[in-house]
Amino acid sequence: MKKVEAIIRKSKFDEVKKALHQIEVNFFSYWDVTGVGNEKQGHVYRGISYSTSDIQRRYLVIVVSDDFLEKTVNVLLDTASTGNVGDGKIFVSDVIEAYRIRTKESGSAGIN
């Protein structure tokens, strides 16, 4: 099993969620987060200067079986991308075990 953590633009979240459901990734958690990115340039809007170094994003955590990893990452890469700086990051790590509390199932059965 793998844990996929993705930091994406909030504006792309609905599109990403729909695409994940289409490949049958139906459970994941998400949070609104603020991060600091590489973009150092400030912007001016209606005469007011503001910094873009603090970036509002959505953080997703998705645990999938090994055979869903490639599909999951490809969906994130395809749907979360705008082609501009600040599209986000994806991190993949191993999950040793997973349990479904209600049924006490473990392993892949615990996440599906």
Q: What are phi and psi of 51, to 5 degrees?
A: -90, 140
pLDDT at residue number 39: 62
pLDDT tens, per residue, the chain with 112 residues: 999 999 999 999 999 999 999 999 989 999 999 877 666 556 666 666 666 566 789 999 999 999 999 999 999 999 999 988 888 999 999 999 999 999 999 988 888 7
pLDDT at residue number 56: 82
Domains in the chain: ranges and CATH: 1-108 (3.30.70.120)
pLDDT at residue number 3: 97
Residues 6+ apart with CB under 8 A from 60: 4, 5, 6, 7, 8, 16, 28, 29, 30
pLDDT at residue number 52: 57
